[in-house]
Amino acid sequence: MQCGYCLEEYEEQIDFLFKIRLFKEENKFGDPDIVLFEGDKINLTEIIQDFILSELPILRRCSDLCKGICSGCGVNLNKNECQCVNFNEMIPEDSLIERLQQLKDLFSKDNKEV
Protein backbone atom coordinates (compact mmCIF):
# COMPACT_ATOMS: atom_id res chain seq x y z
CA MET A 1 0.00 0.00 0.00
CA GLN A 2 1.02 3.63 -0.26
CA CYS A 3 1.16 5.83 2.84
CA GLY A 4 -1.20 8.81 2.62
CA TYR A 5 1.28 10.97 4.58
CA CYS A 6 4.75 10.32 3.15
CA LEU A 7 3.75 8.50 -0.08
CA GLU A 8 6.16 5.61 0.63
CA GLU A 9 5.14 2.04 -0.16
CA TYR A 10 4.56 -0.26 2.84
CA GLU A 11 3.01 -3.62 3.62
CA GLU A 12 0.19 -4.21 6.06
CA GLN A 13 -1.54 -7.45 6.90
CA ILE A 14 -5.31 -7.29 6.68
CA ASP A 15 -7.37 -10.07 8.24
CA PHE A 16 -11.09 -10.30 7.70
CA LEU A 17 -13.90 -12.78 7.40
CA PHE A 18 -16.82 -12.54 5.07
CA LYS A 19 -19.96 -14.51 4.48
CA ILE A 20 -21.84 -14.43 1.23
CA ARG A 21 -24.90 -16.20 -0.14
CA LEU A 22 -25.30 -16.87 -3.85
CA PHE A 23 -28.76 -16.95 -5.42
CA LYS A 24 -30.15 -17.23 -8.92
CA GLU A 25 -33.24 -15.20 -7.98
CA GLU A 26 -33.62 -11.50 -7.32
CA ASN A 27 -32.73 -10.34 -3.81
CA LYS A 28 -36.05 -9.03 -2.49
CA PHE A 29 -34.68 -8.04 0.90
CA GLY A 30 -31.82 -5.80 -0.25
CA ASP A 31 -29.32 -7.91 1.71
CA PRO A 32 -25.76 -6.89 0.68
CA ASP A 33 -24.49 -10.39 1.56
CA ILE A 34 -26.61 -11.92 -1.20
CA VAL A 35 -25.12 -12.02 -4.70
CA LEU A 36 -27.05 -13.00 -7.81
CA PHE A 37 -25.53 -15.15 -10.51
CA GLU A 38 -26.54 -16.61 -13.85
CA GLY A 39 -25.58 -19.87 -15.49
CA ASP A 40 -23.68 -22.81 -14.07
CA LYS A 41 -20.39 -21.05 -13.23
CA ILE A 42 -19.64 -18.35 -10.67
CA ASN A 43 -16.72 -15.93 -11.01
CA LEU A 44 -15.71 -15.16 -7.43
CA THR A 45 -12.91 -12.76 -8.43
CA GLU A 46 -15.08 -9.61 -8.50
CA ILE A 47 -16.93 -10.61 -5.32
CA ILE A 48 -13.69 -11.18 -3.40
CA GLN A 49 -12.13 -7.96 -4.78
CA ASP A 50 -15.14 -5.97 -3.53
CA PHE A 51 -14.77 -7.43 -0.04
CA ILE A 52 -11.02 -6.77 0.03
CA LEU A 53 -11.50 -3.15 -1.11
CA SER A 54 -14.14 -2.58 1.55
CA GLU A 55 -11.68 -3.75 4.24
CA LEU A 56 -8.79 -1.49 3.21
CA PRO A 57 -8.22 1.45 5.55
CA ILE A 58 -9.41 4.77 4.14
CA LEU A 59 -6.57 6.70 5.76
CA ARG A 60 -3.41 4.73 5.06
CA ARG A 61 -0.43 5.48 7.27
CA CYS A 62 2.86 3.53 7.25
CA SER A 63 3.33 4.07 11.01
CA ASP A 64 1.90 6.11 13.87
CA LEU A 65 5.13 8.13 13.88
CA CYS A 66 5.02 9.07 10.18
CA LYS A 67 5.80 12.77 9.73
CA GLY A 68 4.62 12.96 6.12
CA ILE A 69 6.03 15.29 3.49
CA CYS A 70 6.72 19.01 3.65
CA SER A 71 3.92 20.97 2.00
CA GLY A 72 6.47 23.53 0.83
CA CYS A 73 9.28 21.52 -0.76
CA GLY A 74 7.88 17.97 -0.75
CA VAL A 75 10.77 16.35 1.16
CA ASN A 76 9.94 13.17 3.09
CA LEU A 77 10.23 14.35 6.70
CA ASN A 78 10.87 10.77 7.90
CA LYS A 79 14.13 10.66 5.93
CA ASN A 80 15.34 14.28 5.70
CA GLU A 81 14.95 17.57 7.47
CA CYS A 82 13.10 20.26 5.57
CA GLN A 83 15.17 23.24 4.38
CA CYS A 84 12.16 25.49 3.74
CA VAL A 85 11.78 28.81 5.49
CA ASN A 86 9.32 28.47 8.35
CA PHE A 87 5.87 29.50 7.11
CA ASN A 88 5.25 31.60 10.24
CA GLU A 89 8.42 33.58 9.53
CA MET A 90 7.35 34.26 5.95
CA ILE A 91 4.06 35.94 6.92
CA PRO A 92 4.11 38.30 9.88
CA GLU A 93 1.30 37.59 12.33
CA ASP A 94 -0.06 41.16 12.09
CA SER A 95 -0.44 40.79 8.33
CA LEU A 96 -2.25 37.47 8.75
CA ILE A 97 -4.66 38.91 11.34
CA GLU A 98 -5.38 41.88 9.05
CA ARG A 99 -6.19 39.60 6.10
CA LEU A 100 -8.44 37.42 8.24
CA GLN A 101 -10.26 40.54 9.52
CA GLN A 102 -10.92 41.58 5.91
CA LEU A 103 -12.36 38.14 5.22
CA LYS A 104 -14.53 38.36 8.34
CA ASP A 105 -15.80 41.79 7.27
CA LEU A 106 -16.67 40.40 3.86
CA PHE A 107 -18.97 37.79 5.39
CA SER A 108 -20.37 39.97 8.20
CA LYS A 109 -23.81 41.44 7.69
CA ASP A 110 -25.12 44.47 9.54
CA ASN A 111 -22.07 44.44 11.84
CA LYS A 112 -23.16 41.07 13.26
CA GLU A 113 -20.52 38.53 14.21
CA VAL A 114 -20.08 35.55 11.93
In a domain, 62, yes or no: yes
In a domain, 5, yes or no: no
Maximal CA-CA distance, the chain? 73
Residue 58 domain-assigned (yes or no): yes
Give residue 69's pLDDT. Answer: 92
Span 62-69, mean pLDDT? 93
The answer to whether position 95 is within a domain reads no
Structural domain including 56 reads 21-81
Rounded Cα gap, residues 112 and 69, in angstroms: 40
Q: How far apart are CA 53 and CA 18, in angstroms?
A: 12
> Whole-angstrom Cα distance, residue 40 to residue 53?
27
Residue 97 has pLDDT above 90, yes or no: no
10 domain residue, yes or no: no
- Report if residue 101 sits inside a domain: no
The helix (H) or strand (E) run that includes residue 104 is helix 93-107
- Residue 63 included in any domain: yes
State how far the Cα of 111 lies from the Cα of 44, in Å rounded to an integer: 63
112 falls within a domain: no
- Whether residue 88 is predicted with pLDDT greater than 60 in this model: the reply is no
104 pLDDT exceeds 70? yes
Total domains in the fold of the chain: 1
